[in-house]
Amino acid sequence: MTPASGDAATLLSAPLPHGWIGTTSQWIEGFGIGLVVLNVALLLFVWFRMQRNESLSRMWGWMLVAVGLVPIMVGFMTFAHGLESSATVSACGSCHVMTPFVRDLQDVKSETLAATHFKNRFILTNQCYSCHSDYGLGGTITAKLAGLGHVWRYTTGRYTVPIKIASPYPNTRCLGCHGESQRFLNSPSKKEILPDLMAGKVSCIDCHGPVHPEQKKEARL
Partner 1 sequence: MTEPTRRRQILRLAIVLVLVFNLLALVVLIRATPIAFTIFMFLAQPLMVVALILLVVAVMAELRTRQLL
Q: Which residues bind partner 1 (CB under 8 A)?
A: 29, 32-33, 36, 39-40, 43, 46-47, 50, 56-57, 60, 63-64, 66-68, 71-72, 74-75, 77-79, 81-83, 85-86, 91, 94-95, 147-148, 150-151, 154-155
Residue closer to partner 1, measured from CB, 52 or 164: 52
In whole angstroms, what is the distance from residue 157 CA to residue 26 CA? 33
Given a contact cutoff of 8 angstroms between Cβ atoms, the answer to whether 89 and 102 are in contact is yes
User: What is the closest distance, in whole angstroms, from the C-beta atom of residue 122 to partner 1 in the complex?
Assistant: 25
Residue closer to partner 1, measured from CB, 20 or 60: 60
Residue closer to partner 1, measured from CB, 128 or 204: 128
CA angle 86, 152, 117 (to 5 degrees): 40
User: What is the closest distance, in whole angstroms, from the C-beta atom of residue 83 to partner 1 in the complex?
Assistant: 8
User: What is the closest distance, in whole angstroms, from the C-beta atom of residue 28 to partner 1 in the complex?
Assistant: 9
In whole angstroms, what is the distance from residue 174 CA to residue 131 CA? 8
Residue closer to partner 1, measured from CB, 39 or 106: 39
Measured CA to CA in angstroms, residue 203 lies from 100, 118, 168, 185, 187 at distances of 24, 21, 9, 16, 17
Q: Which residues are CB-neighbours of 203 under 8 A, at least 6 positions away? A: 168, 169, 171
Residue closer to partner 1, measured from CB, 42 or 114: 42
User: What is the closest distance, in whole angstroms, from the C-beta atom of residue 73 to partner 1 in the complex?
Assistant: 10
Q: What are phi and psi of 101, to 5 degrees?
A: -70, -45
User: What is the closest distance, in whole angstroms, from the C-beta atom of residue 21 to partner 1 in the complex?
Assistant: 19
Q: Which residues are CB-neighbours of 80 under 8 A, at least 6 positions away? A: 28
